[in-house]
Structure 1
Amino acid sequence: MIKVETYRPQDFVDFSQPENVQAYQDALTYVREQYLGKTWPLVINGERVHTDEKLTSLNPCDTQEIVGYTAKATVEHAEQALQGAWAAWAEWKTWSMDARARVLLRAAAMLKRRRHEFNALMTLEVGKNYAEADVETAECIDFLEYYARQAMKYAHFGAAETFPYPGEENGLMYIPLGVGVSISPWNFPLAIFAGMLAAPIVAGNCVIAKPAEDSGCIAALFVDLMIEAGMPAGVLQFLTGVGEEIGEYLVTHAQTRFITFTGSRAVGLHINEVAAKVQKGQKWIKRVIMELGGKDAMIVDETADLDVAVTAAVQGAFGFNGQKCSAMSRLIVTDEAYDRVLSAFVERVGALKQGTGEENANVTAVVNEESFEKIQKYIEIGRSEGRIVAGGGVDGSKGYYVQPTIIADVDAYARVAQEEIFGPVVSVIRARDFDHAIEIANSTEYGLTGGVCSKNRARLEQAREQFEAGNLYFNRKITGAIVGVQPFGGYNMSGTDSKAGGPDYLTNFMQLKTVTERF
């Protein structure tokens, strides 16, 4: 049993203090000097592997600037990584839970000391402003600290409850699954990447980690940190490459034991489908853990505090440009409050500053050209499905800039109100009353986050029971789940409700064995 202080989430840096702004800007200078243009290799069996072909990572706020390059893995690399991970697992599974947890704790301590360095690389690679990057690095530290402590619950025989039986010893023991694949997204390129690999690793598994193509540099920096923290060769294999190539190869492979995925609904459902098919030589049912996004709504009724509601709407909708699976993309307002809420929302959004992450703008560029074009298309759809009352403009001359956009008077079943856009676009929908608002909130196929702003206790309790969301927030923004405080994950088409950062998350990567001895 590790002997450390009780888990407590990291505090966030206060960027209203000039010294913190200066420290961040110093880190940006350092990262430019040390990492800009660097080529990051694969890591297979502890060896750095360079490839002839590479992926290029651009600064989305200035697409003329190359942040770095990552090696492009082939299926041969994927096969090598898989076999090497199984070889490493033979020893890793014998390590005590304490010993594995100490690797995570060491990594967390190192990351605390290099916090702004990681923040700054995120600013350059995916366009996060200071607060968005810092909150993410804090979340990454929290995942490492929290999972290290949670692992202690599963470390001994009898860790799960059984009832006694005369003349026998009966008990349950948790054992790791083996080797799995982690496929992570670009929108939380550090925290989600780290959390998705740290949990199965501390539970005794080996992981092949494949980050999104747009955020391979920050992932590579974290892998280097984990190795420096004492991660044995082969336990964490790092493959950058194209998902349709190496990702597809690994999720369909007979020797892949589990798959953890965060990304789009379409890709997730494909992974779920192909993982369910038993391959020649496969001896298990693959376990699939996934989070697939949402069409998240916040309800505001006529009793709500207007300032609280509008602040929650702006933060929830436009933090990191709406590029969060938890972002508020639907604002549902009861008829009596609709006009004043919409007016205040438009006014507040109009004051947001758009610019680069390095300038610490409120709204920066979206991550890549594909997202840029997709969001433009939905804005055009929105012109015919509602009234654009804020934003609507785009500028791709230097970076992938989309103005924060509000589409008013949208029908609940319009495309912009049903389909995930994943950008700074909000549909505002009028509800007859609170019951109708709940009906509208539940009208999509998703069930990730949601919120209600109201002073009416009966309505809040009604929403507690009826609002279909894995994470539901009252009188605050619907983004920003904190590890160990608000375990995160949704249901319906939003995923398997695995609750990352929650008390049972590690069990996704373990299986139970019952052992009985008669005396």
Structure 2
Amino acid sequence: MINDADIPAECLCADPLERATSFEYAPHPCIPLPSEMFPDGRINSAGVNTSDSLSMLALSEEVSAFDDTCWKACPIIGGQDIEEGELYEVFFPASLSTKVGEVLAATPEHALQSIEVARSSFYRWSNTPVEERAAILERAADLLEKGRGKFFSLLIREGGKVISDAVAEIREAVDFLRYYAMLARDQLTNPIKLPGPAGEENYLYFESRGVFVCISPWNFPLAIFLGPIAAALVTGNTVIAKPAEQTSLVAYEAVKLLYEAGVPTDVLCFVPGRGEVLGNALLSSASIAGVVFTGSTETANIINQVVAGRGRDIIPLIAETGGINAMIVDSSALPEQVVEDVITSAFKSAGQRCSSLRVLFLQEEVADKTIEMLLGAVAELRLGNPMALSTDIGPVIDQQSFDMLTSYAEEMRKKKIKLLCRADISYLSGEEEGYFFPPHIFELESVSQLSREVFGPVLHVIRYKKPDLLGMLDDINSTGYGLTFAIQSRIQSSIDDITDRIGAGAYMLANPAFHVVRKAPPTSFPVTLTEVKSFLGINNNSEDGLLTNIISMSSEYAQWYIEQSLSRQTWVLSRSGGNIPKKIFLPFGPIVSVVSVRVATQNAALRTVTKKEYSVDSLQSSVVVYAAIGATKIEIVYEAGYADTRDIPTQIKHGILHHVAVAYKKRDSMTVEHLAFIKEIYAPFREVRLVLNDSGDCVTLSGIQNIRLTLRNKNSEVKGVLSGGWKNSLNGTGDKNVAVRITGIAEHSAAESVLLEGSFENRALNCTLLLGSRTKVTMKCFVELYEWYYEVGNLGSFNVVLISSGLVHYNQNAKDD
């Protein structure tokens, strides 16, 4: 174009982005905007594209506006700043000569005064409507995003966080505020009606407790400061906020923001200072109703003892502490992914996360290669000024942390523990004078060599042999820590074996430090372009773009349906009368867990049996109840289904291939750009068979597109077929009272007459079967494109009730002929 004299110079110089904004376009109907990605309707927090120069320039201008600010913080009681107390200065952890601000520490008298103020305002605040309290949190979230420059500056200069960590923390704080607002509206607005077994009406509702003391850590001084406060406030409690002394400035500004959003000043009090000074006054008070704490395990134990020693009512202590977090890597793991995740989890945030990786277990067959790659990756990490985008790791928080880490490294040297790596930070000499501690990697023989959590950029590596895996898991459990645990493996049976044995609060696969939230549509799908072309017999590349789009859309709808119909559900299977078989098959597998088993004999009340009295066979979806011998009643509550869509059997891949094939055949007659026709061909792929009695039960099947009911007599001969179709898209409302027809029933005698009345309404087939005799009826629902069947099997006279949402809802007493 530049050599074409007919093209004006202004056209060549036109900004392509400005031109693109002038185009008319239709957004993809199945790809939500980032702010609208949450299915519960709440707004997602706004991020920052650190690779975009314009975004970073705007952020830099917002942050630099506070460069010369000398921040001040002091206790706030009843809305009044308390200008008295011990003064201490705060310095930038990356540059100890740079003063960030000053803090006036609260005294024990201030702590007692704040409790009294919060107690006196509790009744008024607890009676404030939930909607009003939730709206305040949402306004706070909006204000936080609007005033992000101030908090970026404080998180970096007071907390020593690098830019990416500051972005993540502000987003997490915003998400906390909006999440708790949403949860309050959902759970606190109206009482929850419970079952009434004897005809009574039972309701569950929540009441506010009183004054909560919220003690927050320095490693997440905004998100974990605001999170517990928000939860306590929106549930109608008043709050005493006690921040970590290292990060009181950002906490002070967060409290001011909550006041601006509408939190009454006597409902939230702020008491900065050292824990050893304020702890006893806050925790031993008879007026507090609960404590929320995030910090070290040692401190949590002290708090527990002080609260228990009050000698009054037992109040809740919610504590999230540290962990010797482990990751197990077997020989099937992808080494590049392992190294990336280990670097992120062990060393980012200078290893100052409670969820940071502390121990890496490598199967001996891949240990040497993985360690070599890991050491190379560590050599590329750069420590320095957290304000610079080139910085990967910032400083540790203070002198105490730095001294602890230095002492630990020396302790390991004296014990002759093998040092695999100590990152070179000689380039910092003369440039930055801060608390920079280089990443260290030690190699241990056993996890028993670790007696405590080391809070910083220190990783321990242990090699293991596959036959020793189970014993190694027991060793991990014996450390007394169980916060998080990660697995890097591509063998599902290994993952299952490990997760069944390990004791941890959070399990993570492939990513050891974060619970990943999907921010964009997937870029990989259950089937590949190569598989599709092979399935269709296509040997050229001329339609690769079209096929890729069809695969994407089909996979999106497959994901939608799987989440709707095959997710984990809770069922109750029960039976009364007759002898109860010892082995009972549970429908709607695979079995996730058996919640409870209760049995009874004759007219006795049901009793809960212990886990020793029954065994679960997940492979056969059955339970062997030893206590059922001689019993006449039984009730089994269990969860079945797939907790993770990656666990769905491989037949789903074949189903998507069929959908792609149909879509490809229709490519010439449909609007390919929108691919809306895939909605019409995608349908449920579960078959349900029920044996019904002759009392005229009503069956509701939700989400069905194509139905065929097969009627059989007692000799299993087919006597009739009912068929009907759901013609509209999955998102449509559908036609009401669609005509149904019965064919092939001429062989029925008068005594075996069948009358079926039904209609399609709101995407459900409601049908009533009136049987003239005890004719066995088998009901089937399936879609012709995808015949993946799951059979309930012969339930005998068991009654099965779905007590959580799912595809099939029924409540029939099935009887054998």
TM-score normalised to the size of structure 1? 0.87
What are the superposed Cα offsets for residues 239-260 of structure 1, whole Å, 9 maximum, x if unpaired?
A: 1111111122111111111111
Map 1:20-169 to 2 at 5 A. 20-33=55-68, 36-159=69-192, 161-163=194-196, 165-166=198-199, 168-169=200-201
Q: Please say if residues 378 and 423 of structure 2, whose CA atoms lie closer than 8 Å, have aligned partners that are also in contact.
A: no
What are the superposed Cα offsets for residues 297-318 of structure 1, whole Å, 9 maximum, x if unpaired?
A: 1111111001011101000001
Specify the code of the residue in structure 2 equivalent to 1:386. Answer: I
Q: Please say if residues 193 and 202 of structure 2, whose CA atoms lie closer than 8 Å, have aligned partners that are also in contact.
A: no
Distance in 2, matches of 1:41 and 1:278, equals: 28
The 3-state SS of whatever aligns with 1:204 is coil
Distance in 2, matches of 1:127 and 1:230, equals: 30
Distance in 2, matches of 1:5 and 1:473, equals: 23
Map 1:217-296 to 2 at 5 A. 217-279=249-311, 282=312, 284-296=313-325
Partner of 2:419: 388
Map 1:91-490 to 2 at 5 A. 91-159=124-192, 161-163=194-196, 165-166=198-199, 168-279=200-311, 282=312, 284-360=313-389, 361-383=391-413, 384-391=415-422, 398-415=433-450, 418-433=451-466, 434-479=469-514
State the 1:161 CA deviation. 2.5
> Compared with structure 1, are the counterparts of its residues 436 and 18 closer, same or farther at alpha carbon in structure 2 (3 Å cutoff)?
farther
> Compared with structure 1, are the counterparts of its residues 236 and 160 closer, same or farther at alpha carbon in structure 2 (3 Å cutoff)?
farther
Partner of 1:487: none
State the 1:26 CA deviation. 1.9
> Compared with structure 1, are the counterparts of its residues 481 and 248 closer, same or farther at alpha carbon in structure 2 (3 Å cutoff)?
farther
What are the superposed Cα offsets for residues 437-461 of structure 1, whole Å, 9 maximum, x if unpaired?
A: 5344334211111111111111112
Q: Please say if residues 214 and 293 of structure 2, whose CA atoms lie closer than 8 Å, have aligned partners that are also in contact.
A: yes
Q: Please say if residues 299 and 437 of structure 1, whose CA atoms lie closer than 8 Å, have aligned partners that are also in contact.
A: no
Specify the code of the residue in structure 2 equivalent to 1:62. Answer: S
Aligned length: 473
What are the superposed Cα offsets for residues 15-49 of structure 1, whole Å, 9 maximum, x if unpaired?
A: 1111222233223311223xx32222221111122
Runs of 4+ in 1 over 6 A off after TM superposition: 392-397
Distance in 1, matches of 2:423 and 2:405, equals: 10
Partner of 1:512: none
Structure 1 gap segments, 5+ residues each: 484-519
Distance in 1, matches of 2:233 and 2:477, equals: 36
Specify the code of the residue in structure 2 equivalent to 1:390. Answer: C
> Compared with structure 1, are the counterparts of its residues 157 and 6 closer, same or farther at alpha carbon in structure 2 (3 Å cutoff)?
closer
State the 1:58 CA deviation. 1.6
Partner of 1:507: none
State the 1:171 CA deviation. 2.1
Distance in 2, matches of 1:270 and 1:24, equals: 42
State the 1:392 CA deviation. 6.3
> Compared with structure 1, are the counterparts of its residues 157 and 300 closer, same or farther at alpha carbon in structure 2 (3 Å cutoff)?
same
Higher relative contact order (CA 8 A, sep 6+): 1
Please, which moves more after superposition, 406-415 or 261-270? Answer: 406-415
Q: Please say if residues 485 and 512 of structure 2, whose CA atoms lie closer than 8 Å, have aligned partners that are also in contact.
A: no
Distance in 2, matches of 1:481 and 1:294, equals: 20
Distance in 1, matches of 2:424 and 2:110, equals: 43
Distance in 2, matches of 1:180 and 1:213, equals: 19
- Decide which structure has greater helix share: 1
State the 1:234 CA deviation. 1.2
State the 1:169 CA deviation. 4.1
> Compared with structure 1, are the counterparts of its residues 450 and 78 closer, same or farther at alpha carbon in structure 2 (3 Å cutoff)?
same
Please, which moves more after superposition, 71-80 or 439-448? Answer: 439-448
What are the superposed Cα offsets for residues 500-519 of structure 1, whole Å, 9 maximum, x if unpaired?
A: xxxxxxxxxxxxxxxxxxxx
State the 1:377 CA deviation. 1.2
Distance in 1, matches of 2:424 and 2:294, equals: 29
> Compared with structure 1, are the counterparts of its residues 12 and 176 closer, same or farther at alpha carbon in structure 2 (3 Å cutoff)?
same
Distance in 2, matches of 1:446 and 1:407, equals: 20
Q: Please say if residues 84 and 234 of structure 1, whose CA atoms lie closer than 8 Å, have aligned partners that are also in contact.
A: yes
Distance in 2, matches of 1:331 and 1:92, equals: 48
> Compared with structure 1, are the counterparts of its residues 406 and 274 closer, same or farther at alpha carbon in structure 2 (3 Å cutoff)?
same
Q: Please say if residues 508 and 515 of structure 2, whose CA atoms lie closer than 8 Å, have aligned partners that are also in contact.
A: no
TM-score normalised to the size of structure 2? 0.56
> Compared with structure 1, are the counterparts of its residues 439 and 431 closer, same or farther at alpha carbon in structure 2 (3 Å cutoff)?
farther
Distance in 2, matches of 1:368 and 1:111, equals: 27
Partner of 1:17: 52
Distance in 1, matches of 2:507 and 2:40, equals: 30
The 3-state SS of whatever aligns with 2:236 is coil
Please, which moves more after superposition, 378-387 or 304-313? Answer: 378-387
Q: Please say if residues 411 and 429 of structure 1, whose CA atoms lie closer than 8 Å, have aligned partners that are also in contact.
A: yes
Partner of 1:513: none
Distance in 2, matches of 1:367 and 1:15, equals: 24
Distance in 1, matches of 2:302 and 2:488, equals: 36
> Compared with structure 1, are the counterparts of its residues 375 and 103 closer, same or farther at alpha carbon in structure 2 (3 Å cutoff)?
same
What are the superposed Cα offsets for residues 321-356 of structure 1, whole Å, 9 maximum, x if unpaired?
A: 000000001111111111111111111011001101
Specify the code of the residue in structure 1 equivalent to 2:118. Answer: A
Distance in 2, matches of 1:450 and 1:87, equals: 44
Distance in 1, matches of 2:259 and 2:242, equals: 16
